[in-house]
Amino acid sequence: MSDLTISRLTPEADARAELPPARPGRRGTWARRRRSAAALALVLPAAFFYVTFVLRPILFTVQYSLYDWNGVTEATWVGAENYTRLFSDPEMFGPILNALQLIVYFSFVPVALGLIAAAIIRKFATSRLAIIGRTVLFLPQVIPLVAAGIMWTWIMATDGVLNQFLRLIGLGSVTRAWLGDFDTALPGVGVIGAWVSLGLCLVLLLAGMSKIDPALYEAARLDGAGPIREFWSVTLPSLRQELAVCLTVTVIAALASFDIIYISTQGGPGNSTLVPGLEIYYLAFFQREVGQASALAVALMVLVLIVVIPLQRLIRGREQ
């Protein structure tokens, strides 16, 4: 400190400078402790249920995956043998490949169709037709998946509505048991999944579009942009967060699918629609191979993380 600065200090300032920093009072300390205790009391019940019903079962699943166990008798340690079988046995690896193929139907198709439908509905958002369109497209989200699977099984049956319509328009040679054919069973299940996921994607994307500043569209029109250029330059970049949510939810639904496939095909014909969730169910409760089922469950959890985390980073981009 320079001599000039020292000379400007008053005796009162010197006295204040020499005083030790003020300590918080006892009342303030007790208030902070009460707030911390209240916050801890609110968090503890949720943390207890999360540890008990999420983390604890995951740890037990990892433990069981290292044993050969039928769920009743004494378990035998086998190490990584169950995981080795996942990649060496086609019957174990096949369901994983089927689940990866279902991502196209359960995720990419409904997101693409949801973008198109949301862009169209947004043009006449306040009209009665838009309300009807949103309601009809969102209806599959309200219908239980079991009921949806049964309904689509009837539609795609040999004498179902789909084949009757094809015969009506002169395409009787194309008709078949769509969910009973090796070539069309997996795409048929994918159509059901796309139909169910479309409504959720539509609502999320419509909500995202409603937050876009109209001035951006006006600026694009002044630059001579048409509807398609507006969509690619304004709408799509503004929906990164919504697209990330849609893709995350639908990809997880594809990889963890169970109920629709169990109701419609039960993994058949053959193993053409068998997915990891259904295979885990068969291994654990019918073949009594709890260790192998646990290994497949752990592999499925890792697969979901491997697919979803990079996908979120790719869609959202670098946070500003």
DSSP per position, 149-212: HHHHHHHTSTTSHHHHHHHHTT-GGG---TTTSTTTHHHHHHHHHHHHHHHHHHHHHHHHHHTS
Q: Is the pLDDT of residue 214 over 90?
A: no
Q: Average of pLDDT values for 291-316?
A: 88
pLDDT for the residue 36: 84
| pLDDT tens by residue, 43-53 | 999 999 999 99
| pLDDT tens by residue, 76-90 | 999 899 999 988 888
Strand partners, 77: 67
* Domains in the chain: boundaries: 92-317
Q: What does pTM read for this prediction?
A: 0.82
> What gap in Å lies between CA 232 and CA 86, rounded to an integer?
42
The first and second tokens of residue 38, run together, are: 């209240």
Residue 200: CA atoms inside 13 Å, Cβ hemisphere, count? 21
Residue found under tokens 């998946």: 145
Contact yes or no for 246/111 (Cβ under 8 A): yes
Long-range contacts of 80-85 (CB under 8 A, 24+ apart): 82/291, 82/292, 82/294, 82/295, 83/295, 83/298, 83/299, 85/292, 85/295
Q: Average of pLDDT values for 101-114?
A: 94
> What gap in Å lies between CA 312 and CA 179, rounded to an integer?
33
DSSP 25: P
pLDDT for the residue 60: 94
Contact yes or no for 280/300 (Cβ under 8 A): yes
- Which is the CATH superfamily of the domain at 92-317? MetI-like (1.10.3720.10)
| pLDDT tens by residue, 305-317 | 998 888 877 776 6
Q: Is the pLDDT of residue 59 over 70?
A: yes
Q: What is the dihedral of CA 280, 282, 286, 291, to 10 degrees?
A: -20
Confidence of residue 6 (pLDDT cuts 50, 70, 90): very low
State the average pLDDT for the chain: 86
> What gap in Å lies between CA 109 and CA 251, rounded to an integer?
11
| pLDDT tens by residue, 26-46 | 666 887 888 888 888 889 999
Please list, in sequence order, all residues whose beta carbon lies within 8 angstroms of the beta carbon of residue 231, skipping any fewer than 6 positions away. 119
The first and second tokens of residue 222, run together, are: 């002044």
Q: Is the pLDDT of residue 5 over 70?
A: no
Please list, in sequence order, all residues whose beta carbon lies within 8 angstroms of the beta carbon of residue 166, skipping any fewer than 6 positions away. 172, 174, 175
Question: Percent of the chain, pLDDT > 90?
Answer: 54
> What gap in Å lies between CA 198 and CA 82, rounded to an integer?
37
| pLDDT tens by residue, 62-77 | 999 999 999 888 999 9
Confidence of residue 21 (pLDDT cuts 50, 70, 90): low
